[in-house]
Amino acid sequence: MRTYVLTHVGDGALLRSLDTLVGQERCATADVLAHIAEVDARRLYLPAGFPSMYEYCVGKLRLSEDAAYKRIQAARAARQFPAIFPAIAEGRLHLSAVVRLAGHLTPGNADELLNAAAHKNLAELEKLLAERFPQPDVATRLEALAGNPVLQQLSSRTVAPDERGNLELSPAAVEPPAARPRVFPLAPERYALQLTLPQRTHDKLQHAKALLGHAVPSGDLAEVLDRALDALIEKLERRKCAAASRPRATAARRSSDPRHTPAAVKREVWARDRGRCTFVSGAGHRCSESMRLEFDHVEPVARGGRATVEGLRLRCRAHNQYEAERVFGTGFMEHKRREHRRAQESATARRGTKLQARGEVMPWLLRLGIGEREAREAVALSGAAPDAPLEERVRLALRQLGPPQRRVAAGPAASVGA
């Protein structure tokens, strides 16, 4: 058995051994980053049964949340800028420095910025980045933390988002996360919730508290939130998995759309799969993801798959896409994704054009003394004729304010002034 008691080692030998081990650790860290970067790029976490590289590092490699976050961010930066690997192996940069630098590195400045950051501690690095990438002044704010041990503990930490946007704690002395959400365990089955609410959410909470005045006369916010979450979960379960306290007995109908999933089928599949991704790796590990779940056809629709209880399963978004790539090929799916993105961008551009046109017409109608509601309806009825000159668009909107028989539908610019 290896012993870790070093009381018998002389001072000089102890220091030399420590220097050697730290050097080996740096080289090992660079190797770990290279492996993480390659596993991440190949998405090998998917066949292993994990929905993301972050979940793989925490669940399979047993890294802490903070260690996983730092290594993934550093690995991705190093894959893009390979000079980071030797800088870590040689001790010129540490992981925290790479994570802090990652958002500022570009092909044009990477070599120079990495050299400038070499051997700097975090305080020196922050000063360097402030000089190179100045930020606007922050608002003056003075806040006092009450003598609450939970708040005092929170004040010594900060949070950083993981690769999926989840907030993860990491020890740091940056600033108290006063405006960031945090659930903190206090005792068995007891938690503290800390968050900052916008005015609209505060008003909703107060309104719910007032409506529950008879049921919760104490006005206890924990009870109000519990009841609000019950109502929200019930609504979301109805929409997501067709949950119903009293399912209606309806005759089975065969939809012409092969992708249509009957509510009864959704309920049974969701219950059978326990609201969790069903992907299982070759080693027997089942994906633990319970967010962004999708009803996936066991046999693809293109190959005759049907929306039956036996023909459907729950898959997280990542494993649903992984299965599609496995069946149809990565190139085909990338092509489909590009087509989808182009269609979305085109639709967004069309909506933006219409909104811009409406925004230009509205002020003119209001100046003419037309009420805001009538003006909005007139612009909507006219379609705002986005391709027509502004004068013609205003005229067309004005025509919508007359009797219905005199209204003119939006059309080519030439017909507006007829």
pLDDT for 18 beyond 60: yes
Q: For residue 164, give the nearest of 295, 289, 314 by alpha carbon.
A: 289
Model confidence at 344, pLDDT cuts 50, 70, 90, reads: confident
Dist CA 275 CA 268 (whole Å): 11
pLDDT for 150 beyond 60: no
pLDDT one-digit tens code per residue, 228-276: 999 999 898 888 888 877 776 654 556 677 788 899 999 999 999 999 9
Dist CA 366 CA 361 (whole Å): 9
Burial letters for 223-260: b for 16+ Cβ neighbours within 10 Å, e otherwise?
Answer: ebeeeeeeeeeeeeeeeebbbeeeeeeeeeeeeeeeee
Q: What pLDDT, on the 0 to 100 scale, is given for residue 134?
A: 87
CB atoms within 10 A of CB 57: 26
pLDDT for 396 beyond 60: yes
For 232, phi then psi, to 5°, come to -65, -45
Place of tokens 């109805």: 238
Q: What is the reported pTM?
A: 0.65
Dist CA 365 CA 378 (whole Å): 9
> Which stretch of DSSP H or E encloses residue 184?
strand 182-187
Work out the angle at residue 101's Cα, subtended by the Cα atoms of residues 75 and 119, and round it to the nearest 5 degrees.
95
Determine contact, residues 314/270, Cβ cutoff 8 Å: yes
Determine contact, residues 311/299, Cβ cutoff 8 Å: yes
Determine contact, residues 55/19, Cβ cutoff 8 Å: no
The region, left, alpha or beta by phi > 0 then psi within -120 to 50, assigned to residue 189 is: left
Which pair of structure tokens corresponds to residue 407?
């209204």
Q: For residue 361, give the nearest of 407, 395, 319 by alpha carbon.
A: 395
Pairing of strands 182-187, 157-161: unpaired
Q: At what angle do helices 11-42 and 65-80 cross, to 10 degrees?
A: 70
Which pair of structure tokens corresponds to residue 133?
């990438």
pLDDT one-digit tens code per residue, 180-222: 567 878 788 888 888 888 888 899 999 999 999 889 888 899 9
The region, left, alpha or beta by phi > 0 then psi within -120 to 50, assigned to residue 304 is: left
- 178 class by beta-carbon count within 10 Å (0-12 exposed, 13-18 middle, 19+ buried): middle
Model confidence at 395, pLDDT cuts 50, 70, 90, reads: confident
Determine contact, residues 96/84, Cβ cutoff 8 Å: no
* Maximum mean pLDDT: which of 28-42, 258-272, 303-317: 28-42
Residue-averaged pLDDT of the chain: 81
Gap between the terminal Cα atoms of the chain: 96
For 167, phi then psi, to 5°, come to -85, 130
With a pLDDT cut of 90, the percent of the chain lying above it is 47
Q: Which position has the higher pLDDT, 402 or 327?
A: 327
Which pair of structure tokens corresponds to residue 118?
């070499």
Q: Report the range of poorest mean pLDDT among 65-79, 84-98, 288-302, 371-385.
A: 371-385
Dist CA 212 CA 115 (whole Å): 61
Model confidence at 410, pLDDT cuts 50, 70, 90, reads: very low
Model confidence at 140, pLDDT cuts 50, 70, 90, reads: low
pLDDT one-digit tens code per residue, 358-392: 567 778 778 777 887 788 777 777 665 566 777 77
Q: Which residues contact 293 (CB under 8 A, 6 or more apart)?
A: 240, 275, 276, 277, 314, 315, 316, 317
pLDDT for 176 beyond 70: no
Q: Report the range of poorest mean pLDDT among 9-23, 75-89, 243-257.
A: 243-257
Reported in sequence order, the residue ranges of 267-375 that DSSP labels E, i.e. its strands, are 293-297, 312-316
Dist CA 33 CA 55 (whole Å): 16
> Which stretch of DSSP H or E encloses residue 249?
none
